[in-house]
Chain A
């Protein structure tokens, strides 16, 4: 190249070209930066929404538990009291009717009905609020629940607990959640899965509680059941309760292969 004009044009062209390259580089850098910022903001927003959702769910569950406690107390104290008084009154009536065997027999029969009603009211009251859980903790409440279900149904429930002793206490919210989840899982196994054996394994480590559930029932399709408005509520309840206390829940099930549920709750 022998012309100084040509060299000047070359330099100016090179400058213009490099400016275009720099502009394109800037566009890529700025767009990615803006986009990452947008992603971060979206993630923060989602986190806030999830936290609000969890709080709402927690409040709703607390209200539900308070309502249950109130109904349980009313049943136990008021209706239970009335039924006890009725039973005593019938007993007293029976003593005054010794001369009238027919009326006496009727009074005895009425007394038995009242006794049964009283037992059912107490049982209902206990189901609504697990008093053993409130008074003695999760371990005793779960053993009591397993015993009761073993006696009441043909399904055998095997419960194994590690890292927790009788009367050991953990956070009341976690205790109640685990108890309710176990109740829901057993109810599902008895009502829908037709399981013969149910195994629970509760394990407490230093910062984690795990609950493993296994049954040999008919199993179910997780996605289908979860999206089914009628049958998905039980699963939703379990997932919601576990989410509220920052836990995670995994279901493994397919038709004919039983069900396995793994729950992890940080403590």
Chain B
């Protein structure tokens, strides 16, 4: 098993880093827990879900078994929590919009669920939803002007991380057949885009970590 682990790291050097990177916001979250309001606790839960659902992914990968369905389950679970988390933001979108997003996400997830490859269109729809909700968040932040120092506002860092991850990966999943399809994409293209997705997820988790870190500052003073 250890031999396979090293072989895997050699083949996908960013993958373990991407998986363990989620420990950073989890640890910072524990250190800053006393300053957390409900939204941050939910985002911390997202990180925990990432970590826990990575375990069966790693298990499958090391045993050279199909683990795509676990990746798709992880995507659905994380997306549901991320979309719902907007309900606990101070710049909350209308509940109806969240409900519509959730219905859309669920229907797409069920309809597009695949066992042996990425459910790409589910991922694309989720990313479009993230981008839309992020735009709404930015609009409210600028419109309300309740936040006095935006760099001390945890939600800004988290939503921005989500926005960057979504913008960076949407096209990759739209053109999944060319980029990250294990069976159709060229080897070098597959590895390049897999690593790019890992880098974008690392950026997302680092920005969540920054958001957790600044939670002790008072952003509205």
Pick the interface stretch among A15-23, A48-56, A80-88, A166-174.
A15-23
Residue B147 at the A interface, CB < 8 A?
yes
C-beta contact mask, B124-147 vs A, less than 8 Å → 1, else 0?
000000000000001001100101
Q: A9-B175, A23-B138 are in contact. Are A32 and B188 (CB under 8 A)?
A: no
How many pairs of residues, A versus B, come closer than 8 Å at their CB atoms?
A: 74
Judging by beta carbons under 8 Å apart, are B145 and A35 in contact?
yes
Residues on the A chain within 8 Å of B160, using CB: 24, 27
C-beta contact mask, A1-37 vs B, less than 8 Å → 1, else 0?
1110110011011001101110110011011101100
Residues of A within 8 A of B (CB): 1-3, 5-6, 9-10, 12-13, 16-17, 19-21, 23-24, 27-28, 30-32, 34-35, 38
**Please, which residue of chain A has its CB at the minimum distance from the CB of B166?**
A20
Judging by beta carbons under 8 Å apart, are A31 and B142 in contact?
yes
Judging by beta carbons under 8 Å apart, are A3 and B178 in contact?
yes
Q: A23-B138, A27-B141 are in contact. Are A13 and B172 (CB under 8 A)?
A: yes
Judging by beta carbons under 8 Å apart, are B150 and A3 in contact?
no
C-beta contact mask, B167-178 vs A, less than 8 Å → 1, else 0?
111111001001
Judging by beta carbons under 8 Å apart, are A6 and B138 in contact?
no
**Please, which residue of chain B has its CB at the minimum distance from the CB of A9?**
B175
Judging by beta carbons under 8 Å apart, are B163 and A24 in contact?
yes
Query: Cα distance A9–B179 when bound, in Å?
Result: 8
**Please, which residue of chain B has its CB at the minimum distance from the CB of A13?**
B171
Q: In the complex, given contacts A20-B167, A21-B164, what are 5 additional A-B residue pairs having Cβ atoms less than 8 angstroms apart?
A: A1-B186, A6-B179, A16-B168, A20-B163, A35-B149
A6: contacting residue among B148, B170, B189, CB under 8 A: B189
List 7 tightest A-B contacts by C-beta distance, closest first. Answer: A20-B167, A17-B168, A6-B189, A31-B150, A13-B171, A16-B167, A24-B160
Judging by beta carbons under 8 Å apart, are B186 and A16 in contact?
no
Residues on the A chain within 8 Å of B193, using CB: 6
Residues on the B chain within 8 Å of A20, using CB: 163-164, 166-168
B145: contacting residue among A10, A17, A34, CB under 8 A: A34
Residues on the B chain within 8 Å of A24, using CB: 160, 163-164
Judging by beta carbons under 8 Å apart, are A31 and B141 in contact?
yes
Query: Cα distance A10–B178 when bound, in Å?
Result: 11
**Please, which residue of chain A has its CB at the minimum distance from the CB of B192?**
A1
Cβ of A177 to closest chain B Cβ, rounded Å: 36
Residue B99 at the A interface, CB < 8 A?
no
Judging by beta carbons under 8 Å apart, are A1 and B188 in contact?
yes
**Please, which residue of chain B has its CB at the minimum distance from the CB of A32?**
B150
Interface size on B, residues (CB 8 A): 30
Residues of B within 8 A of A (CB): 138, 141-142, 145, 147-151, 156, 160, 163-164, 166-172, 175, 178-179, 185-186, 188-189, 192-193, 196
Residues on the A chain within 8 Å of B145, using CB: 31, 34-35, 38
Residues on the A chain within 8 Å of B189, using CB: 1-3, 6
Query: Cα distance A9–B156 when bound, in Å?
Result: 28
**Please, which residue of chain A has its CB at the minimum distance from the CB of B131?**
A20
**Please, which residue of chain B has its CB at the minimum distance from the CB of A31?**
B150
18 contacts between A and B (CB under 8 A): A2-B186, A5-B175, A5-B178, A6-B178, A6-B189, A9-B172, A9-B179, A12-B171, A13-B170, A13-B171, A16-B167, A16-B171, A20-B163, A24-B164, A27-B141, A31-B142, A31-B150, A35-B148
**Please, which residue of chain B has its CB at the minimum distance from the CB of A24?**
B160
Judging by beta carbons under 8 Å apart, are B178 and A27 in contact?
no
Query: Cα distance A1–B191 when bound, in Å?
Result: 10
Query: Cα distance A19–B167 when bound, in Å?
Result: 9
Cβ of B145 to closest chain A Cβ, rounded Å: 6
Judging by beta carbons under 8 Å apart, are A27 and B188 in contact?
no
**Please, which residue of chain B has its CB at the minimum distance from the CB of A18?**
B167
Judging by beta carbons under 8 Å apart, are A23 and B163 in contact?
yes
Residues on the A chain within 8 Å of B167, using CB: 16-17, 19-20
Residues on the A chain within 8 Å of B142, using CB: 27, 30-31, 34
Query: Cα distance A27–B196 when bound, in Å?
Result: 25
Cβ of A9 to closest chain B Cβ, rounded Å: 5
Residues on the A chain within 8 Å of B171, using CB: 9, 12-13, 16
Judging by beta carbons under 8 Å apart, are B150 and A28 in contact?
yes
Judging by beta carbons under 8 Å apart, are B164 and A17 in contact?
yes
Query: Cα distance A28–B142 when bound, in Å?
Result: 9
Query: Cα distance A19–B134 when bound, in Å?
Result: 14
